[in-house]
Amino acid sequence: MKKLQALLWDVDGTLADTERDGHRVAFNRAFQQMGLDWDWDVELYGRLLQVTGGKERIRYYLDEFNRAWERPSDLDSFITELHRRKSQLFVSLMVGGEIPLRPGVSRLVNEAKQAGLKLAIVTTTTPANVDALLRQYFPAEGRPVFDLIAAGDVVPHKKPAPDIYLWALERLGLGADQCAALEDSHHGLRAARDAGLKTVVITVNGYTADEDFSDATLVVDQLGEAGRPCRVLQGEGRVSGMVDLGLLRQLHDVS
Ligand code: XBP
Ligand code: MG
What ranges do the domains of the chain cover?
Answer: 6-17+101-254, 19-95
Mean pLDDT of 68-89: 97
CA dist., res. 25 & res. 22, Å (int) = 5
Q: Is the pLDDT of residue 46 over 80?
A: yes
Cα gap 40→23, rounded to integer Å: 10
Q: Over the chain, what is the mean pLDDT?
A: 96
3-state SS, residue 122: strand
Q: Is the pLDDT of residue 224 over 70?
A: yes
Atom of ligand 1 nearest to the CA of 188: 14
Under CATH, what is the fold of the domain 19-95? DNA polymerase; domain 1 (1.10.150)
Q: How confident is the model at residue 240 (pLDDT cuts 50, 70, 90)?
A: confident
Residues 6 or more apart whose Cβ sits within 8 Å of residue 43: none
The closest alpha carbon to 184, from 97, 124, 239, belongs to 124
Ligand closest to the CA atom of residue 203: 2
Alpha helical stretches, state H, the chain? 18, 24-33, 42-48, 54-64, 75-95, 105-114, 127-137, 163-172, 186-194, 245-254
Q: Where residue 237 falls among pLDDT bands split at 50, 70, 90? A: low
Is 17 assigned a catalytic role? no
Report the distance separating Cα 156 and Cα 120, nearest Å.
19
Q: Is 199 in the pocket of ligand 1 (CB under 6 A)?
A: no
Q: What percentage of the chain reaches a pLDDT higher than 90?
A: 92
Q: Closest Cα to atom 6, ligand 1: which residue? A: 124
**Which residues are paired to 181 by β-bridges?**
8, 200
What is the atom index within ligand 1 of the atom nearest the CA of 19? 9
Per-residue pLDDT for 95 more than 70?
yes
Q: What is the pLDDT of residues 183-211, one digit of tens each?
A: 999 999 999 999 999 999 999 999 999 99
**This prediction's pTM:** 0.94
How far does residue 163's CA lie from ligand 1's centre (Å)?
Answer: 15
Q: For 127-172, how does the pLDDT look when each residue is reduced to its tens digit (9 = 90+)?
A: 999 999 999 999 877 778 999 999 988 999 999 999 999 999 999 9
- In degrees and rounded to multiples of 5, residue 68 shows phi and psi of -75, -20
Query: What mean pLDDT is predicted for residues 55-71?
Result: 97
Atom of ligand 1 nearest to the CA of 11: 15
**The predicted structure's pLDDT at residue 152:** 87
Mean pLDDT of 248-252: 95
Active site residue 10: yes
Best residue among 10, 28, 60, 125 to mutate for probing ligand 1's pocket (most ligand atoms within 8 Å of CB) is: 125
pLDDT at 37 > cutoff 90:
yes
Burial class (CB in 10 A: 0-12, 13-18, 19+), 200: buried
How many CB atoms neighbour CB 162 within 10 A?
20
How many Å apart are CA 229 and CA 243, to the nearest integer?
A: 9
Q: Per-residue pLDDT averaged across 42-70, rounded? A: 97
Q: Is pLDDT above 90 for 238?
A: no
What is the 185 CA–ligand 2 centroid distance (Å)? 6
User: Is residue 1 predicted with pLDDT exceeding 90?
Assistant: no
Q: What is the DSSP letter of 222?
A: S
pLDDT bucket at 175, cuts 50 / 70 / 90: very high
For residue 9, report the distance from its CA to the centre of ligand 2, in Å.
Answer: 9
- CA-based R_g, the chain, Å: 18
Please list, in sequence order, all residues whose beta carbon lies within 8 angstroms of the beta carbon of residue 105, skipping any fewer than 6 positions away: 14, 15, 16, 223
Q: Class for domain 6-17+101-254, per CATH?
A: alpha beta
Average pLDDT over residues 32-45: 98
Give me the percent of the chain exceeding a pLDDT of 70. Answer: 99
